[in-house]
Amino acid sequence: MSNGEEDFYVTNLLDKASAFRAVQTVSVILGATPLQRLNVSMTGVVLRVYRLQSSDNLNTWTDVETRFGDAFTPLIEFTAESIDPTKFWRVQTRY
C-alpha cells in the first residue's frame, strides 16, 4: 500500500491492527419473487463520502446510497435489495 493510500484509508503502516475492514452479508429471501439482500458495514472516517454502487456489467455503476463519515456515528451501514441474481456491488469512498 502506498503512503497516499495509507493516508486515504486512515491506516498506519506500523500498526498491525490498523486496517480497513468491511463486513458484507448477502442473503436470499425466498418468495413469489426471490430477492437478494446485501448488507455492508464498516467504520467510516470523518469527512469521507461513502457510496454504495451497483452494476449489471462491471462497466456502468449506479449510486444506490450515500453516507458521510461522522465522528458521532462512525459505523457506516448500507442495505440494498435486488431481484437480479447477477448484480455486482462496490463501495466507493472519496474525500
Q: Indicate if the pLDDT at residue 8 is higher than 80.
A: no
CA distances from 67 to 30, 38, 40, 52, 87 (A): 29, 16, 12, 8, 21
The predicted structure's pLDDT at residue 78: 92
Q: What is the number of structural domains in the chain? A: 1
**What's the whole-model pTM score?**
0.74
The CATH number covering residue 41 comes to 2.60.40
Q: Indicate if the pLDDT at residue 53 is higher than 90.
A: yes
pLDDT in tens, 70-88: 888 888 899 998 888 888 9
Question: Which pLDDT band, with edges at 50, 70 and 90, does 64 fall under?
Answer: very high
Q: Which domain holds residue 32?
A: 3-94
> Could you tell me where the beta strands, DSSP code E, fall in 1-95?
22-29, 35-43, 49-55, 62-68, 75-82, 88-94
